[in-house]
Structure 1
């Protein structure tokens, strides 16, 4: 796996996407900080952080989350396609074996995107704490009576813990999204198929009527556990079963033809 990560670091387009994912959350941060300087709007640091999505237009979130699977494919998830094109997969398979090769690819496609997102969001959070130190404005979220909403009450009592939990959740979903692109490429090692199919699977979760994936990315909302948990469970099941099914299908198919 270390050789796969080293190859990613050496790939210029992968590094461009890596830094793009890091920089995009800063767009909202800059916009909010300009508002602070202009209108003296001193947000609570956790409210001002990227995932909460309080910036006007949500440009940063739209650019990052809507097109996330495309970024991840460029980052590392279409690595198998490159291996097939240059014949590198046959060399590695002869050394590691088919199962180990596929496992390594899937693990890399999970860990690298998840780590990239973790770095981006943690950097954004730390910057928000610095820029909005001792800020109190929360769009009345922390002042509202959320009786009956256990998630909102927990968020009021433990804003830092809440934000970190949502941050880790986004990293988990990002990692799983990375394995989706990689696993599809095992079956159809062509970018003309993998890119649109991966994007379709992702985007259908975003536009899912009444239960968008974005809802489980944003802390400090009016949504409670009865709304958030079914979306989270659905997303994890879909994003986990697809790679697992394709993995066993690919391994079994190759064993039958070997």
Structure 2
């Protein structure tokens, strides 16, 4: 079933469009950064942005257009990429026919696995390409938007100690955050799939998933605290935000999966 689902996706224009969007958005974001750097000049290392500061997750491009597309609209991208396909499967009777031939648990487990693996692979690929290009173009850059000049003062302020550590090890920080962001996307991919399990209806699944994501992003325990490097929030903000995100996501995934399996069995 796994291979069959993948082969279907590769023939689906929506999947190809949104997969391409995931790949291109961080690279377009780099072009915006490059335009700004060319205007500022590449002549002095002190004024050339550090490659880590240019990376997509650092969110420093003018206008933040890339982040607005890929991060703020993430649930809509995930649903179009793969997870809302079950809505049409229910409508055309494909779901019932598939459940007759396959184990119900295996079917829903495969759906959840693909809803995590597919976007995670695309996001990881896109962010790695983004960082490698940043390393190539901005090689030797030292500028952290001026924060590097205040490093010694920031070291004595407890909430900023994590920021100081990240600035002292910028490349390792970006690599760690790439994997954190990839994992976060994989988890929310499963969340959107679980929502479609519960509500196989475009008019319910899309608003529900988007509302849940926006609440996570804009709450006092914003998920952006642990997804974005080089920000002023310390572990006292990051850890609770990660716990809230993980626990709420697991609740939705669990309800969607076990409710669907029980409903089919009954």
TM-score (norm 2): 0.91
1:89 equivalent among 67, 92, 95:
95
Whether 1:167 aligns to 2:168 is no
Match of 1:231 in 2: 241
Contact 1:80 1:105 in 2 (8 A): no
- Identify which range, 212-221 or 72-81, moves more after superposition: 212-221
Give, in whole Å, the separation in 1 of the partners of 2:88 and 2:127.
Answer: 29
Q: Tell me what 2:261 maps to.
A: 251
C-alpha change, 1:42 and 1:157, in structure 2 (3 Å) is: closer
Question: Is the contact made by 2:198 and 2:256 (CA closer than 8 Å) also made in structure 1?
Answer: yes
- Mapped to 2, the partners of 1:55 and 1:194 lie a distance apart of 32
Among 226, 231, 239, the alignment partner of 1:221 is 231
2:217 corresponds to which of 196, 206, 221 = 206
Instruction: Answer yes or no: is 1:192 the counterpart of 2:203.
Output: yes
> In the alignment, is the contact (CA less than 8 A) between 2:221 and 2:244 conserved in 1?
no
Inter-partner Cα distance in structure 2 for 1:93 and 1:190: 19
For residues 42 and 150 of structure 1, what CA distance do their matches in structure 2 show?
Answer: 24
What is the Cα-based RMSD across aligned positions, in Å?
A: 1.5
The CA deviation string for residues 27-85 of structure 1, in whole angstroms up to 9 with x for no partner, is: 32111111221111521000011110111221110111111100110000112112212
Paired residue for 1:45, among 24, 28, 51? 51
**How many residues were matched structurally?**
255
Aligned to 2:74: 68
Aligned match of 2:22: 21
Distance in 2 (CA, whole Å) between partners of 1:230 and 1:117 is 24
Distance 1:70 1:183 in 2: 14
The correspondence for 1:131, drawn from 133, 137, 145, is 137
Structure 1 residue 2: Cα displacement:
2.0
Q: Give TM-score, length-normalised by structure 1.
A: 0.94
Structure-1 residue corresponding to 2:119: 113
Specify the alignment match of 2:44 in structure 1.
Answer: none
Segments of 5+ residues of structure 2 without an aligned counterpart are: 42-46
Aligned-partner Cα distance in 2 for 1:32–1:254: 51
Query: By how many angstroms is 1:154 displaced?
Result: 2.6
Name the CA distance, whole Å, in 2 between partners of 1:50 and 1:222: 17
Name structure 1 gaps, 5 residues minimum. none
